[in-house]
Chains A and B, each alone.
Chain A
Amino acid sequence: MAKTKKGQTKITIYPDWCKGCGLCVAFCPGKVLELDPMEGCAKVVREEDCINCGFCELHCPDFAIVITPKDSKGSTEPNEGSPKS
């Protein structure tokens, strides 16, 4: 499984729907996300480090995270290097 390049994705978080559970923040392998203590929800702080593993999108219990390719023609396949148990 070839590693895709970092930073090819755009991450959108809907603050209205995010409840700030912190799952995405805790498990993101690239430490892309952080909890915003003021807003009480997750926000994107290092989008350029995103490896498009898809973990946050799959695990967000509130359907509040959307990942789209920056370049719309780019690969949207998830990187298989997602966290393993």
Chain B
Amino acid sequence: MAEVTQLIHNYLRRDKKFPHVFCPGCGHGIVLGSLIRSVHALGIPKDDVVLVAGIGCSGRIPVYVDFNTVHAVHGRALTIATGIKMANPKLHVIVIMGDGDALSIGGNHFIHAARRNIGLSVLVLNNFIYGMTGGQCSSTTPQGDWSTTTPYGAMEKSFDLVELTSAAGANHVARGTTFHVKTLDKLMANTLTKPGFNFLEVLTPCHTQYGRKNKFKNPVEMYKWLKSTAMPLEAYNKLAPEKRGDRIPIGIFQSREETPLEVSYENLRKQLRGAKS
């Protein structure tokens, strides 16, 4: 275990300024740690990893890590990632987005990338809020909660990302939290290895913009909330529906083996060219 942090340090860009920009208690660093541990454990060379991010707090992650990194425009990280994967299927393309990034401005790209079932590892860091721009309501802000653009409580219903992604056609769908880090590491390894559109939602607290305004005294309170709210999917399923309340299941929700787009395309090309010669 001694290597945990040193190992992470080996993957960070040394010429970048640390500590990183994230607020105290922000879970983004925890996700980055989990990602690095998983890439390392799986033995994927740094050169083969392309980390694409959108705009927002999550978009700041790639700067810090020594992979091929792309900081895209708001909501469109998946489109650039799609181009990269189709152009060179050998690369491990990992996409990191926030909830507003992936599901609000990028919602259309998100469902279509899932429908295409293109081989991307997609992490959505869901903190229920627009963090970087100052705490505006996002499409995952729980109904009734306060944000700077819902000063009287969020009126609209929020997305269930797991159900949305499953319905859209992704091969693999999972959810974890930044409190349950060992589970997160397992889910991360799953997300990085299984073919096809591979989605992992990570619940990660934003105390600065969301927690403070919604009755969480400090970041620790938010992690306590995650600890008490999230539960393994298997246990959740055994729970009587009326007892589920606000509990959030975590684990692997979907595991399909459908052929990813880049493989189907390669097959088509072989078939067309085979027929020609």
**Interface residues of A, Cβ cutoff 8 Å to B:** 16-23, 25-27, 52, 54, 57-69, 76-78, 82-83, 85
B218 within 8 A of A: yes
Pair B1/A61 contact, Cβ less than 8 Å? no
Chain A residues in 8 Å Cβ range of B178: 59, 61
Pair A19/B179 contact, Cβ less than 8 Å? no
Q: List 20 A-B contacts (CB under 8 A).
A: A16-B18, A21-B219, A21-B220, A22-B218, A23-B25, A57-B1, A58-B30, A58-B33, A58-B182, A60-B29, A61-B25, A61-B28, A62-B18, A62-B19, A62-B29, A63-B5, A64-B5, A67-B4, A69-B2, A83-B227
Q: Give the contacting residue for A17; candidates B2, B18, B25, B30; CB below 8 A.
A: B18
B85 to chain A, nearest CB (A): 29
Chain A residues in 8 Å Cβ range of B4: 54, 57-58, 66-67
Pair A66/B25 contact, Cβ less than 8 Å? no
Q: Which residue of A is nearest B29, CB measured?
A: A61
Pair B1/A54 contact, Cβ less than 8 Å? yes
Q: Report whether over half of chain A's contact residues are helix, strand or loop; otherwise say mixed.
A: loop
B180 within 8 A of A: yes
B212 to chain A, nearest CB (A): 13
A60 to chain B, nearest CB (A): 7
Pair A26/B220 contact, Cβ less than 8 Å? yes
Residues 98-139 of B contacting A (Cβ, < 8 Å): none
Pair B19/A76 contact, Cβ less than 8 Å? no
